[in-house]
Structures are given as structure tokens and as C-alpha cells.
Structure 1
Amino acid sequence: MRIMPRHRASLVWPCVFTCAAAAILVSLGVWQLHRLAWKEGLIPEIETRANGAPQPFPPVAEWPKLRPEDCEYRHVAAEGTFENGKEALVFRASGGAAGKQPGYLVLTPLRLTSGGYVIVNRGFVPFDRKEQSTRLAGLIQGETKITGLMRQPEARNFFTPADDLAAGTYFTREPDLIAKHFGLAPAAPFGIDADDTPVSGGWPKGGATERNLPNNHFSYALTWFGLALALVGVFAVFAWQRG
């Protein structure tokens, strides 16, 4: 029986580990390339949705069936009455299209003519317009029709501060949370970002939706492939030194 040299035997498990880890890293790189292809197809689809003619806002019966990926940035029109006494403010470090200064997004429930509620992001206000009393001219009274883009809730992360519900100040756009706080039901599980139609007094400024979808999948793929190559290189050096 032929016995494997000791230095070669000592390389068996490092080789197994290297091959397994490299395979995982390569598969992650391939997955990112698939995500890249998906994202590159999604971006023009979203632009088409956002720039198309506004569609009627979905009725309550359709809400449970809607998937976020199918309705995000859909251009819609909704009719109803704003409940201005139930306003919520979402902090923003920048106003986006409304300016670089920090401030708040003004989120107001719209009681839909067809039934139910939807939380509408009416637009941005700077700090000195936080109080509703400083922008009374911008309040829309009575039944109205708005157009804007459907938006799914923002995700929280470890660094998201806690909301101040007593002050009506939030740090993410979460329609469900805001509707629950005000006791609104049934409420749409998504919101609407109002378009840039001017309002009396100039505030809030709508149309601040930013459609800058992150698309870093190619760089992520290069990172995974690079790590796989580096791992193989380290093993090759290790094996050469042991040989």
C-alpha cells in the first residue's frame, strides 16, 4: 500500500476548506450578477411606471393582493379629504429636490372617497415650518384629488432613532405605524408621495421623491470573486511553502 507523504496529507483539509469556501464566494458573486441583471431591468420599468399617466388608486379590496415590487413608484390619482389634524412629521437630513437644508416630510392621512385611508407624503418643510400654524395656507380643506407615486414603507435598521409619537415626529415613512397611532382603519399598507403641484403659501413642497435606486451589484460581485481568488492564492502559497 502506498502511503501519502506527510506534507501532502497535511494539505488535505486546508484544500477541502479552500475549495468549499471558494465555491461559496464564487456562488455569491454569480448571485450578485443575477441581481445586477434584475436591477438593470427594474430601473427602466420603474421609470415607465413613474412617468406614465396616473392610474386610479387601488380600492381597499385589492390592498392585500398588492406586492411592493409591483406597485412601487406607480403613478396614481386618489380622491378624498385630508385629515389635517392627524399630521405626522418624518425627519429628513435634506429636502432633496426642495433644498439641501434639513427638515421634515409632512405625512397626512387622506380619507378616501371610495373608503379607507392612505397616508400621503405631501412634501418637505424646513425646520422653521415644522409647526402647522406656520403654513396654514398650505392646508387643503374639503374633498380634493391628488396625484403622486405609490411608495412602500421604509425599512428601519439598527441606527434608526426611536420615534417621538407624542410629538408626532418619526424617522421612517411607515404608513401602518402612523395609521395605527391615529386609529385609522382600514389603512393602505403603502403610501403616496404627492407630486409637485404647488400649494398656497408654498409649503409643503411636493415632488421630492428621489428615484435613485442603488445599483452596486457589479462591485459586490467583483468583491466576492476577488475574495475567492485571494483565498485560492493564499492556499497556493501555503501549499508551496509546505512542499
Structure 2
Amino acid sequence: MSHVSGVGRAKFEAKGMIGRAGIGSHAAPSKCSASRLLLALLGFLGVLVFLGLGIWQLERRVWKLDLIARVDQRIHAPVVDAPGSQSWSGFSAADYEYRHVRLAGRFLGGANTLVRAVTELGGGYWVLTPMRSDRGFTVLVNRGFIPQERKALFERESGGFTPTAVVDGLLRISEPGGGFLHSNDPAANRWYSRDVDAIARARGLTDAAPYFIDAEASGAAVWPRGGLTVVSFRNSHLVYALTWFALAVMLAVALARPVFASRRLRGAAR
């Protein structure tokens, strides 16, 4: 009896092991299938994201081409009077920036502001001088660029600079805050951007326009040297769009490859 019981017990245990093995063999493919499904869903989401980014870049390209055309038209349009205070409510770059404008008035040379700049002539400063217009408001005029080595001489000679003048140039929108790595420091008189509001407050200007004017070229022998404004807009949106679309195609192909391989295997097995 004990021998029979031992054999029976052994058979029972063997069946139990086989049963557990069978359960494990079914569970492993189930987990593997779930992982593959999750990866496929993530991959499909990635394709949608890449396609969305590509479409967004195409939309940005349309906007950039419209901006370039609008700015080019404004730069080469006939000169018009600089907008007065009646136009400042709701003032925006889309409506006014890069208009070819004219301003007549008197410079206030004792309130010059030097803004750090790098141009084709090297490192130095933009010279922003307020002009009190004949129409009763004040506009900061970027008279041009001076190199670093001329700063001390310019500051000595410009204090009594108050001539009347007529300035033609491009209307530009304020550049608040500072540069990429430096913030404006009005208290220390250190400026890294042409922040109209901050400069007007620091210089005690009243009725200051919410824009400044980049003066036209002043001649090769004149300092500050005007006309160095570079109007250029980078337009690489088509390249970016094609890159995103290419990534979408590559990911879609990677997702589809196992499906086609599985179909080929099933076809070969028949």
C-alpha cells in the first residue's frame, strides 16, 4: 500500500508540475503580447506627434513668409510721419514695426543712452538719444553705432548736443528686459537691449512713444554710424517640417515591419 501510495503521490506531483508549467507557458506569451501592444500604442502616438510637429512647422512657414513679405513692403514704402500719441493705444508690432517713418524735432543730447551691441564693425554701443518732436511727444532715436574705443570721446562731446533735425528711419518695437545673458540695470546705467519704457523712466522722459526709430545710414565718416540695422528673418521651417515627417515615416515603417514579417511566416507555414 505504501508503495502504491508513493507512486500515486509521485504521479500527482508530476501532474501538478506539468499543470504549473502549462500555466506559466500561457502566462509568458500573455505578458509578452501586452508589452508588444503597449509599445505599438506608444509608437503610434509617436507617429501622431511627429506628424503634428511637421504640420505646425508648415503653418509657421506660412506665417514667416507673410511676415517677410509684409516687412519688405514696409521698408521700401514711401516715408510717413512717425505715429503720434493718438495711435499709441493698442500699439502692436504687427501693425507698425519696420514702417519707414520720419520725425522732426530737437535732440536732447544730455539724455543719451548707450546700449551694448555687436555689429559688422565689431563690439560697441547703440546710441539712443531722445528727440522732442515738433508735435509735442518724445521718441528715442537710435542714431547709430559707436565702437568701444570711441565711447569716452563721445560722452565728452555729446552733452550739449541739442540740434534740430529731421530723422528718417525704421520704426522698431521696444526690447524689454535685456539681452540673452544680461538683464538691463538702469541703476548702474548698464543697458543690453533697447527697452523704451525703462530708458524713458531712467531719463525722466515725458510723453515717450512706445517705440524707437532706427536712423538711416549717416555716412562712412560719421559717428554714431546709422544704417546698420539688419532686417533678416531665419526661415528654416520647411527643413524642420521635412525632418519631422521623415521621423514619422521611419517610425511607422518600424512599427509595420513586425506585422509584415508575421504575415510572411504564417504564409510560409501553410
TM-score (norm 2): 0.75
Tell whether 2:223 aligns with 1:203.
yes
Tell whether 2:84 aligns with 1:62.
no
Contact 1:89/1:105 (8 A) holds in 2: yes
**Closer, same or farther in 2 for the Cα pair 1:218/1:77, shift >3 Å?**
same
Aligned residue number for residue 219 of structure 1: 239
Q: Which amino acid in 2 is paired with 1:22?
A: V
**Closer, same or farther in 2 for the Cα pair 1:158/1:90, shift >3 Å?**
closer
Aligned residue number for residue 56 of structure 2: 31
In terms of mean alpha carbon deviation, does 15-24 or 71-80 score higher? 15-24
What is the distance in 1 between the residues matched to 2:133 and 2:61?
Answer: 38
Number of matched residues?
A: 235
What is the distance in 2 between the residues matched to 1:222 and 1:187?
Answer: 46
**Closer, same or farther in 2 for the Cα pair 1:79/1:158, shift >3 Å?**
closer
What is the distance in 1 between the residues matched to 2:244 and 2:160?
Answer: 51
Contact 1:60/1:115 (8 A) holds in 2: no
**Closer, same or farther in 2 for the Cα pair 1:242/1:119, shift >3 Å?**
farther
Aligned residue number for residue 17 of structure 1: 42
Q: Which amino acid in 2 is paired with 1:127?
A: Q
State the secondary structure of the residue aligned to 2:88. helix
State the secondary structure of the residue aligned to 2:244. helix
Tell whether 2:130 aligns with 1:130.
no
How far 1:195 moved relative to its partner?
0.5
How far 1:220 moved relative to its partner?
1.9
What is the distance in 2 between the residues matched to 1:183 and 1:37?
Answer: 42
Residues 87-126 of structure 1: matches in 2 within 5 Å?
A: 87-94=112-119, 96=120, 99=121, 101-126=122-147
159, 172, 177: which is aligned to 2:193?
172
**Closer, same or farther in 2 for the Cα pair 1:179/1:139, shift >3 Å?**
same
Q: Deviations over 1:91-148 (max 9, x none)?
A: 1222x3xx2x211111111122222222111101011111354673897533321110
What is the distance in 1 between the residues matched to 2:159 and 2:250?
Answer: 59
Q: Which amino acid in 1 is paired with 2:196?
A: P
State the secondary structure of the residue aligned to 2:225. coil
Contact 2:98/2:172 (8 A) holds in 1: yes
How far 1:210 moved relative to its partner?
0.3
What is the distance in 2 between the residues matched to 1:114 and 1:221?
Answer: 49
Q: Deviations over 1:27-53 (max 9, x none)?
A: 121111111122223213211211221
TM-score (norm 1): 0.83
What is the distance in 2 between the residues matched to 1:51 and 1:240?
Answer: 59
In terms of mean alpha carbon deviation, does 149-158 or 233-242 score higher? 233-242
What is the distance in 2 between the residues matched to 1:193 and 1:213?
Answer: 17
160, 164, 182: which is aligned to 2:181?
160
63, 68, 80: which is aligned to 1:43?
68
Q: Which amino acid in 2 is paired with 1:182?
A: R
Aligned residue number for residue 52 of structure 1: 77
**Closer, same or farther in 2 for the Cα pair 1:106/1:171, shift >3 Å?**
same
Tell whether 2:102 aligns with 1:77.
yes
Q: Which has more helix, going by share of residues?
A: 2
What is the distance in 1 between the residues matched to 2:159 and 2:247?
Answer: 55
For structure 1, list consecutive stretches of 5 or more residues without a partner in the other structure: none
Tell me the C-alpha RMSD between the 2 structures.
3.1
Contact 1:109/1:119 (8 A) holds in 2: yes
Aligned residue number for residue 192 of structure 1: 213
Contact 1:119/1:175 (8 A) holds in 2: yes
In terms of mean alpha carbon deviation, does 12-21 or 50-59 score higher? 12-21
For structure 2, list consecutive stretches of 5 or more residues without a partner in the other structure: 1-25, 264-270
Q: Which structure has the higher relative contact order (CA within 8 Å, separation 6+)?
A: 1
Contact 1:88/1:169 (8 A) holds in 2: no
Identity of paired residues, percent?
A: 35
State the secondary structure of the residue aligned to 1:121. strand
